[in-house]
């Protein structure tokens, strides 16, 4: 059996009675009190997530001369210092090796945050595209990450860290002192709510976790609630909605591809772009409380047109919701669909994203 990695908080999770399960090679908390209760805590107050399993890389050197500018679908050199940007690492066929966020730390320094399961491969792929003119290192083991998300998250951090936090706009970050160590506090997240991602030394994570949970408005939340929260706002999940066989155009994420720059996979996307896609992302609502599941088949007019990549029951909408890949003609909002698996048939309708737009994200 595979030896699962553990975050610095594994003892805390077990003491809280968390249901633990493998995720991306890590032993991670799926839920504590329950997925729906933790979902509600994030939508109404504040939820604290252990995200120490994510990968972090540090690049230091000239962004263009060192080759980093040509690695991703986003332009690293055009990101102002103190801001971050979402984009993709692609293979030469235009498939998504990973989706990621790049933080511009300084004129000659960037931090790249990637998914846990793909981190080792991501590092190898990125390193192979650089020319050795800069320092590129994996700082994942030394870096801890906690996400505080929810409409009360700002009040909590203001109380703990002071007024500087209040001035952080969306997709920007500050470097400041947290528990006596240098930390990055970023106004980003994966829930559709006001929230912050906190990067700090891994040996400080336990203390910060314990401190944040002393606030009555903060509850621990597991990956089950996180997955439900992200789906309600239409965010893609790598390994389900994205992978190396799916391009950003098929995933409906071409807004995060800068065609005015060089990157591996660009030629494949340009070849795909002028002609009709063979498949496209669809969002749909089910006409009941039943949950569509990954790999359920999607039909239109009794013809199989694709499959579900993510699905769940949405507490905010009171019905099943899902994302899938279908032929483009079946992806238009308003198209009647049926989702099938064995003897299960769920009537559904294609819709626009996000499913839930009432969050505090830009509050």
**Is residue 269 assigned to a domain?**
no
Per-residue pLDDT tens digits for 106-128: 999 999 999 999 999 999 999 99
DSSP 93: T
The residue to which tokens 């591996």 are assigned: 264
Per-residue pLDDT tens digits for 170-197: 999 999 999 999 999 999 999 999 999 9
Q: What is the mean pLDDT of residues 31-43?
A: 98
Instruction: Quote the distance between the C-alpha of residue 150 and its chain's center.
Output: 16
CATH at residue 176? 3.30.1360.120
User: Vertex 48, ends 186 and 184: CA angle to 5°?
Assistant: 20
Q: What's this model's pTM, rounded to 2 decimal places? A: 0.97
Quick one: 347 and 282 in the same domain? yes
pLDDT at 275 (0 to 100): 85
Quick one: 67 and 44 in the same domain? no
Query: Which of 169, 200, 232 delimits the end of a domain?
Result: 232
Quick one: 145 and 228 in the same domain? yes
- Given a cut of 80, is residue 363 above it in pLDDT? no
Quick one: 153 and 227 in the same domain? yes
pLDDT at 80 (0 to 100): 98
Per-residue pLDDT tens digits for 241-258: 999 999 999 999 999 999
**Is residue 288 assigned to a domain?**
yes
**How many domains would you assign to the chain?**
3
Quick one: 166 and 210 in the same domain? yes
- Given a cut of 90, is residue 1 above it in pLDDT? no
Quick one: 152 and 289 in the same domain? no
Percent pLDDT > 70 in the chain is 100
Structure tokens at 197: 């991602």
DSSP 126: H
**Is residue 208 assigned to a domain?**
yes
Which residues span the domain enclosing 195?
Answer: 10-52+141-232
Quick one: 150 and 212 in the same domain? yes
- Given a cut of 70, is residue 11 above it in pLDDT? yes
- 352 with 335: CB under 8 angstroms? no
Q: What is the mean pLDDT of residues 305-322?
A: 98
Q: What is the mean pLDDT of residues 347-354?
A: 98
- Given a cut of 90, is residue 334 above it in pLDDT? yes
Query: Strands 218-220 and 303-314: what pairing?
Result: unpaired
């Amino acid at each position: 059996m595979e030896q699962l990695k553990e975050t610095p908080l594994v003892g805390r999770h077990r003491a809280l009675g968390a249901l633990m399960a493998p995720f991306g090679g890590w032993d991670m908390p799926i839920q504590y009190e329950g997925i729906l209760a933790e979902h509600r805590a994030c939508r109404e107050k504040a939820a604290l997530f252990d995200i120490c399993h994510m990968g972090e890389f540090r690049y230091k050197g000239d962004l263009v001369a060192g080759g980093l500018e040509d690695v991703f679908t986003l332009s690293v050199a055009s990101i102002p210092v103190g801001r971050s940007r979402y984009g993709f690492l692609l293979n030469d066929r235009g498939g998504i090796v990973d989706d990621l966020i790049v933080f511009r730390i300084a004129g000659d320094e960037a931090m790249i945050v990637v998914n846990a399961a793909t981190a080792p491969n991501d590092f190898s792929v990125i390193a192979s595209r650089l020319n050795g003119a800069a320092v590129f290192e994996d700082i994942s083991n030394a870096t801890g990450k906690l996400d505080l998300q929810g409409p009360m998250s700002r009040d909590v951090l203001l109380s703990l860290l002071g007024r500087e936090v209040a001035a952080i706009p969306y997709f920007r970050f500050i470097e400041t002192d947290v528990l006596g160590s240098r930390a990055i506090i970023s106004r980003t997240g994966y829930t559709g709510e006001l929230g912050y991602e906190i990067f700090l030394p891994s040996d400080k994570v336990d203390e910060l976790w314990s401190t944040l949970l002393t606030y009555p408005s903060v509850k621990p939340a597991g990956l089950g609630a996180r997955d439900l929260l992200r789906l309600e706002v239409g965010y893609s999940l790598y390994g389900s909605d994205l992978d190396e066989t799916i391009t950003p155009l098929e995933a409906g994420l071409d807004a995060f591809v800068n065609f005015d720059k060089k990157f591996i996979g660009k030629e494949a996307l340009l070849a795909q772009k002028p002609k009709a896609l063979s498949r496209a992302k669809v969002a749909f609502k089910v006409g009941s409380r039943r949950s569509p599941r990954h790999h359920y088949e999607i039909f239109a007019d009794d013809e199989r047109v694709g499959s579900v990549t993510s699905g769940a029951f949405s507490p905010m909408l009171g019905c099943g919701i899902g994302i899938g890949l279908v032929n483009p003609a079946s992806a238009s909002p308003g198209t009647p669909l049926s989702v099938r698996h064995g003897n299960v048939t769920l009537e559904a309708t294609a819709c626009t994203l996000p499913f839930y737009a009432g969050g505090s994200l830009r509050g």
